Amino acid sequence: MTYETIRYAEEGGVATLTLDRPEVMNALNRRMRAEITAAVTRAAASQRVIVLTGVGRAFCSGQDLGDSTPGVEFDAARVLAEEYEPMLRAIIGARVPVIAAVNGAAAGAGANLALAADVVIAAESASFIQAFTRIGLIPDAGGTWILPRSIGLARAMGAALFADRITARQAADWGMIWECLPDDAFAAHWQARAAALAAGPAQALARVKQAMRASSGHGLDAQLALEAQLQGECGASLDFREGVAAFLEKRAPRFTGR
């Protein structure tokens, strides 16, 4: 696929997908959703980490409200089912860790696109806004599933009903995101985080993601069984042997992802 709305780069096992429609604050149109889905799928097959970030002053302002066919009524249910859902499932289901490096405002579906990632790292000037009720809608793009699980029902309800701006610092304090960094340290930090994961034990990292993502749908017995299965698989990996050898030899491990 030729990318028109995102930039795609691979380096050192890290695939970086940069949303590139700064003139509309990286709003999601049909083309961008398809390109994100394709790029995440491509990266998950060959790279060890995926990063989503944005160009300009916004990460993503959500649905492009101007992206419609003249004379045709916008069908939100169809767009969510056919365009948003594949994009979100590609991110959540990717076998490798996905980092959202939130460089600026993340609003509406843009906020929930970021929160679908496994780890969210934000610049201090960034913010998260569940802006849906401002235009007579409910949170979508997975927001009603993600938010109660990350910050609890009371905060999720308030964020959705009032559509207040949540600063990156507040989001970190609430546990909505992993880290909030000063703007001047943000880029170097997320790049170092991505590089660290790319150099890590890929088999274990993939299974951490698998186990954590499965936990919300499992009871204790099912989750313990999954842990045992996945740990057995990790224990048979070359990375585990290397990790133990490095620990005993008091040196940094050299993981190969096998």
Same domain, 178 and 220: no
Residue 127 domain flag = yes
Structural domain including 184 reads 6-198
Same domain, 214 and 178: no
Q: What is the mean pLDDT of the chain?
A: 96
Same domain, 243 and 126: no
Same domain, 193 and 207: no
Same domain, 54 and 157: yes
Same domain, 24 and 117: yes
Q: What is the pLDDT of residues 11-47, one digit of tens each?
A: 999 999 999 999 999 999 999 999 999 999 999 999 9
What is the pLDDT, as a whole number, of residue 1?
76
Q: Can you give the pTM of this predicted structure?
A: 0.94
Residue 254 domain flag = no
Closest by CA position to 28, among listed 18, 37, 19: 19
Residue 159 domain flag = yes
Q: What is the pLDDT of residues 62-75, one digit of tens each?
A: 999 888 765 556 78
Same domain, 172 and 239: no
Alpha carbons within 13 angstroms on the beta-carbon side of residue 158 total 8
What integer is the mean pLDDT of 130-148?
Answer: 96
Residue 57 neighbours by CB under 8 Å, 6+ apart: 22, 25, 104, 105
What is the pLDDT, as a whole number, of residue 85?
97
Q: What is the pLDDT of residues 158-193, one digit of tens each?
A: 999 999 999 999 999 999 999 999 999 999 999 999
